[in-house]
A and B are shown apart, each in its own frame.
Chain A
Amino acid sequence: MKKSLLAIALLSAIYGVAAPATALAKEVNLLNVSYDPTRELYQDFNKAFAAFWKTKTGDDVVVKTSHGGSGKQARAIIDGLDADVATLALAYDVDQLQEKGKLIPKDWQKRLAHNSSPYTSTIVFLVRKGNPKNIKDWGDLVKQNVSVITPNPKTSGGARWNYLAAWAYAQKQNGNDEAKTKEFISKLFKNVPVLDTGARGSTTTFVERGIGDVLLAWENEAFLAQKELGVGKFEIVVPSLSILAEPPVTVVDKFAKKHGTEAVAKAYLEYLYTEEGQEIAAKNYYRPTLASVAKKYEAQFPKVNFVKIDEDFGGWQAAQKKHFSDGGTFDQIYSKQ
């Protein structure tokens, strides 16, 4: 007994003197539940943040990520997926964390700059090399011989952006005649042979399976496909009008509190706004919000005539209710097909 106590005391003394820093270091685990096309972004970002956090605190942070259709991911968190942070495709899905799960406060969007959207994106067309169907704008998507690839707006945040961009175009073309706009959207979805559940699935359908003439894609996803997945096989077409997508981020307070990770989760999201974080976003083809980085990568992103969710659709709550809720315009249009 005495020998054991002595050994413990000796080990404690040696350890205490020789390794004071490591003795205090701890490993922190974070789960980031995100939408489909952010795999590459957060792969890079997580490494950078881990290095930053290690330098700052001495702690090791291990960030795990989960990806899927934005709506599905929100439901998974509400159903108990213990996310410390949520980085979803659109604000409506994050709102659900508050409304249905009471996991975050009502004013979550005010906690970080730019309505908690550290980067933006938009919707563009990805076509096959040479643009054989000569697709230049939304109007070309409803032609009879054009096959369009987009995911299901019921499950995918990206698909909802696609849908609204198409809607905005049709409204403008038809002088806000909603009947004609519905007819346009109906024709468009008649040209959609496969509805994937998420944006990455649609990219697989178009790029790897060789289906369709045009992919309605997140801008970052289109760049990725063009430059990394199928070099020289695809071209990006920027339509005459598109929508400014603002993917939001939030700490999932209830779970972070439960895990004791509130501080590191907050720091993780704040790091997205730093110059380093914005550089990583830009390199992964997301449009940075920090002016200096945006200026640096200005040439990378084409100029787009944007409509905005708040200004043109009355915000996500109104857009969701009108278009994507059960019995909404999408259901009306798609159920007839």
Chain B
Amino acid sequence: MQFKLSKYAAVLIASGIISLPITASANDSAELEELRGLVQALSQQVKVLARKGEINEETADAAKKTTPIVKASSGGFSLSSPDGKNEIKFRGLIQADYRAYSSGANDVRNRSNQRAGDLDANGFHDATDTALLRRVRPTIEGKVGGKYGFRFTPEFAGGSASAVDAYVEANFSPAFKVRAGKQKSIVGLERLQGGGDIKFIERSYVTNAILPNRDLGVTVSGDLLSNKLNYGVGIVNGVNDGGNISTGNEYNGEREYTARLFTTPFNDSTSALAGLGFGIGGTYTKFTGERNLNFTDTSAADATRNGLPSYVTDGQQTFFRYAGGAVADGKRFRITPQANYYFGPLGVIAEYARVSQDVSLTTGGSLAAGGGGTNTAFVAGSNKKLKHDAWQVAASYLITGEDASFKGVKPKNNFDLDKGGWGAWELVARYSEINLDNDTFKNPAGTDFTGAYADLSTSAKSAKSWIAGVNWYLSENAKVALNYTHTSFDGGAGVGITPVNLAGTNITDRENENALLARFQVAF
């Protein structure tokens, strides 16, 4: 612009000079001088305008260095300093679900529940169809000084508010990051996938049943070897299988040690193996629970003071619960080999998890109705190492051709009735099962089915589930999911409501569970 204007002015000046001899005869020198002055003034004005433009640009460039950057995008809303070292982000995840059951029970057998009404002839309540909010999680996360960050995610679903994530972190380098507070456990592959990115409405038995969910403590993690190797180690309070720790003090006093190695050895190649990753994770602790009947009566997969979990189906119905007198009493060791693979629209995840838990039987403890009780006393000779395992294989395929990944899906064309886009469509299928140690259902001597760690006529020994489903990504932020799940059990029921007998001859299998799960999710 400046060049053009200057050139224009120069042409004007030149014109004045060239035309001088022609006009000299017609005009006196005063007019020429006036014209020259006019052209010079015009030239100055052009230069001033150009210079002002330069100064404005310089001022704008300087302002960019100090003006905060406000962003509102599909990734959330953020406010950051121009150098990106200081930032605060607002994100959110809301999932509205519907669960419908064609058959199935809503709890372990013979557990009365006044709200659910009377037990049927076999000691079960029917699972009830329900609409629910599965996750309502606003998130505030940020960083200061480029290295130090925080994340706070409360959960408003489920009738009460709690902190899902609440941690601070220091990212000293990509190879060395320290995080302290309540956070996702580092060991499970599917657990590390975001709640809005998971391919199925509920995670598998590996993740929901065996491996820890969220825990309180300190973890160190990082990426090494050009991001080919990811490591993580942690010292945490320790939480039950599938458990989500509360933010309060830990009552047991023993730490749990966690570790994971995961490698993507071909991630910088263009071969079909580029999307292959595999690794192994594990946890170890010594843990002694307390017999407290009030606490053992809490919901499945919750942290209980007896230190032992309950297990739920894909349809989120409890099918296994330890006996009231059982408490964790000794070592707990988990190991989980894991792998995933992504190639074009195809995604596969495979995981195995095994937990080895020392358990004892006790007497005493608080009364179920509260009030006075007696001290927890261990039953001599009842300590036993129980080993449960679970595995899953899941596959997903984006029929609209988008690339599959560990994270969410960005449709090639968002769903738009006006423009004709249909979003991204994904077919998903999974087989998953959990198998509990046979000794769980026998007395400490292993001679009969009464006085066991769990009652086989009320809690099932295994659950095998397959799921088929479809995910419809309306956009990067909106997803509709539909899953059909079928689960069969080994044990878990009996004849009428009679308790298990010594020989276990009155044990039958719990009724199969068929459920349709639906979800509409918005995440940003």
Contact = CB atoms under 8 A, between A and B. Distances in A.
Interface of A: 79, 147, 193-197, 201, 205, 209-212
Interface stretch (B46-54, B199-207, B480-488): B46-54
A132 to B, nearest CB: 10
A197 B51 contact: no
B55 interface: yes
Interface string B205-244: 0000000000000000000000000000000000000000
A316 B59 CA distance: 27
B268 interface: no
B52 A194 contact: yes
B44 interface: yes
The binding surface of chain A is classed by DSSP as loop
B58 interface: yes
Contacts of B48: 193-194, 211
A257 B66 CA distance: 26
Contact of A210 (B47, B52, B55, B62): B47
Contacts of A197: 55, 58-59, 62
Contacts of A211: 44, 47-48, 51
Contacts of A201: 55, 58
A194 B51 contact: yes
Given A197-B58, A197-B59, A147 B51 contact: no
A147 B51 CA distance: 14
B59 A209 contact: no
A30 B418 CA distance: 62
A209 B50 contact: yes
Most chain B Cβ neighbours within 10 Å, of A197, A210, A211: A211
Contacts of A193: 44, 48
B44 A147 contact: yes
Contacts of B55: 194-197, 201
Given A194-B55, A209-B47, 19 more contacts: A147-B44, A194-B48, A194-B51, A194-B52, A196-B55, A197-B55, A197-B58, A197-B62, A201-B55, A201-B58, A205-B51, A209-B50, A209-B51, A210-B47, A211-B44, A211-B47, A211-B48, A211-B51, A212-B44
Interface in B26-65: 44, 47-48, 50-52, 55, 58-59, 62
Interface residues of B, number: 11
A246 to B, nearest CB: 27
A337 to B, nearest CB: 15
18 contacts: A147-B44, A193-B44, A193-B48, A194-B48, A194-B51, A194-B52, A194-B55, A195-B55, A196-B55, A197-B58, A197-B59, A201-B58, A205-B51, A209-B47, A209-B51, A210-B47, A211-B47, A211-B51
A326 to B, nearest CB: 19
Interface of B: 44, 47-48, 50-52, 55, 58-59, 62, 66
A211 B523 CA distance: 56
B244 to A, nearest CB: 41
| A-B residue pairs, 4 tightest by C-beta | A193-B48, A211-B47, A194-B51, A209-B51
Contacts of A209: 47, 50-51
A192 to B, nearest CB: 10
Nearest to B41: A145
Contacts of B44: 147, 193, 211-212
A195 B50 CA distance: 13
Contacts of B51: 194, 205, 209, 211
Contacts of A195: 55
A208 B47 CA distance: 11
A8 to B, nearest CB: 25
B80 to A, nearest CB: 16
Nearest to B46: A211
A210 B51 CA distance: 10
A237 B76 CA distance: 60
A127 B50 CA distance: 21
A299 B48 CA distance: 37
Nearest to A211: B47
Contacts of A205: 51
Nearest to B50: A209
A122 B474 CA distance: 69
Contacts of B50: 209
A79 B66 CA distance: 10
A193 B51 CA distance: 10
A79 B62 CA distance: 14
B420 to A, nearest CB: 51
A132 B491 CA distance: 108
A144 to B, nearest CB: 12
A201 B51 CA distance: 10
Contacts of B66: 79
Contacts of B58: 197, 201
A210 B2 CA distance: 13
A335 to B, nearest CB: 18
A210 B58 CA distance: 19
A186 to B, nearest CB: 19
A160 B51 CA distance: 22
A154 to B, nearest CB: 12
A212 B44 CA distance: 8
A256 B66 CA distance: 24
A193 B47 CA distance: 10
B256 to A, nearest CB: 35
A311 B324 CA distance: 92
B470 to A, nearest CB: 53
B448 to A, nearest CB: 60
Contacts of B47: 209-211
A252 B521 CA distance: 54
B45 to A, nearest CB: 8
Contacts of A79: 66
Nearest to B37: A145
Nearest to A208: B51
Nearest to B66: A79
Nearest to A213: B44
A147 B48 CA distance: 11
Nearest to A193: B48
Contacts of A212: 44
Most chain A Cβ neighbours within 10 Å, of B50, B51, B62: B51
Nearest to A195: B55
A195 B48 CA distance: 10
A201 B44 CA distance: 17
A175 to B, nearest CB: 35
A329 B117 CA distance: 84
Nearest to A147: B44
A111 B55 CA distance: 38
A194 B47 CA distance: 10
A267 B125 CA distance: 86
A193 B58 CA distance: 17
A180 to B, nearest CB: 29
A89 B242 CA distance: 66
A212 B41 CA distance: 10
Nearest to B43: A210
A196 B55 CA distance: 7
Nearest to B55: A196
Nearest to B47: A211
B59 to A, nearest CB: 7
Contacts of B62: 197
A183 to B, nearest CB: 24
A201 B59 CA distance: 12
A196 B66 CA distance: 19
A97 B44 CA distance: 40
A314 B48 CA distance: 36
A147 B47 CA distance: 13
